[in-house]
Structure 1
């Protein structure tokens, strides 16, 4: 769903926290964890500890694909966020969805955010190795191409950097991070999120 160009987000009122939307899937939705252990809550805590008054809006839906995220973008923007993290694609990879379709959906999401003047961070994802090397390369390249086509967005190449494939940082399913894994994700992505927040008017 691509929002009409020219719609602008409201100027952020001075003194209120920055509203940061996190549009994602089960990793954002704290699958297998308490909400306070999940990525949005821990990222908010880390930003506040760093002196950034930020409220992270959890827009994670377990099992969601890039198509699902695209279809609910306008609803998610009803919160009038000042910035957004797009953290989708993992379920596309697990389902073997054509990377061209994933790229089109993510591109529409980024276009919709840009139309609303909402600065965005695109978090990349990798496909599981059982789908083959060719699919994996095409899937990863879709995110790289999106970053080139959307230079206004901050690009964080891999959401699960430092956590994927590490048994001690994941739940028994080896897909979803445990509390230690979430903390490592936050530590690694914090500089990119700070870069995103620097784009927010009045921050």
Structure 2
């Protein structure tokens, strides 16, 4: 009887120890899981404006944006999927491999080169539509950054082109930032010598203006 009692007590102690160990192990596994899932990926998919043309990498849009989002309290890694000179059609052609590893969010910024080259707005619209549709098929939330045609393209072209972005945002019910270069376009002190690409200060202003919209976008998904 004494031996049975001793065995029972020993078993009880072992069971309590095992339960405590299991709870502690589960707790640390949950912490590791949460930590691993905290950092989310926002892919900036665009042209030279997102690629950081003419700037040191440390001053590029994606680097400044990541810092701003993290300062706002979001654990976000911003990946640069910008290609200088890319059009909306070119973006569509490389989308699958550019987003091959998946993404938690995509900031879509394309169309500036379409307008500069005088590409038919209908072509730009169709390419952007297909990009958005492909991303939505992958369940990737999209924020569309709008672009505006330069005045020298004429009022008819300008009106047709500028309508693309708000209409697509409404059609696909996606987040929308009306004009990527808001407050920077045509301001000499905020652009490089080519008067097209923003300098460090110009990028900083773009990031400052865009960050609240991106914080809301990320927080809602």
Decide: shared fold, TM above 0.5.
yes
Measured against aligned partners, the alpha-carbon deviations of 1:147-196 in whole angstroms (never above 9, x if no partner) come to 12111x10101000000011110001110000000000001111111122
Match of 2:200 among 163, 179, 193: 179
Q: TM-score, normalised by structure 2?
A: 0.82
Task: Name structure 2 gaps, 5 residues minimum.
Answer: 1-32
Tell me if 1:137 matches 2:183: no
Measured against aligned partners, the alpha-carbon deviations of 1:29-78 in whole angstroms (never above 9, x if no partner) come to 11000111011110000011111111001000000000011111111211
Match of 1:51 among 73, 78, 99: 73
TM superposition outliers: structure 1 runs of 4+ over 6 Å:
none
1:111 CA displacement: 0.6
Within 5 A, what are the aligned runs for 1:145-156?
A: 145-151=167-173, 153-156=174-177
1:93–1:128 contact (8 Å) kept in structure 2: yes
> Would you say how many aligned residue pairs link Structure 1 and Structure 2?
187
1:17 CA displacement: 1.0
Task: Name structure 1 gaps, 5 residues minimum.
Answer: 1-12
Say which structure is richer in helix: 2
Which secondary structure state, in structure 2, belongs to the residue aligned with residue 161 of structure 1? Answer: coil
2:11 alignment counterpart: none
1:199 CA displacement: 3.4
C-alpha RMSD of the superposition: 1.0
1:166 alignment counterpart: 187
d(CA) in 1 for partners of 2:216, 2:176: 10
Within 5 A, what are the aligned runs for 1:6-45?
A: 14-15=34-35, 16-45=38-67
1:9 alignment counterpart: none
1:157 alignment counterpart: 178
- Structure with greater Cα Rg: 2
1:8 alignment counterpart: none
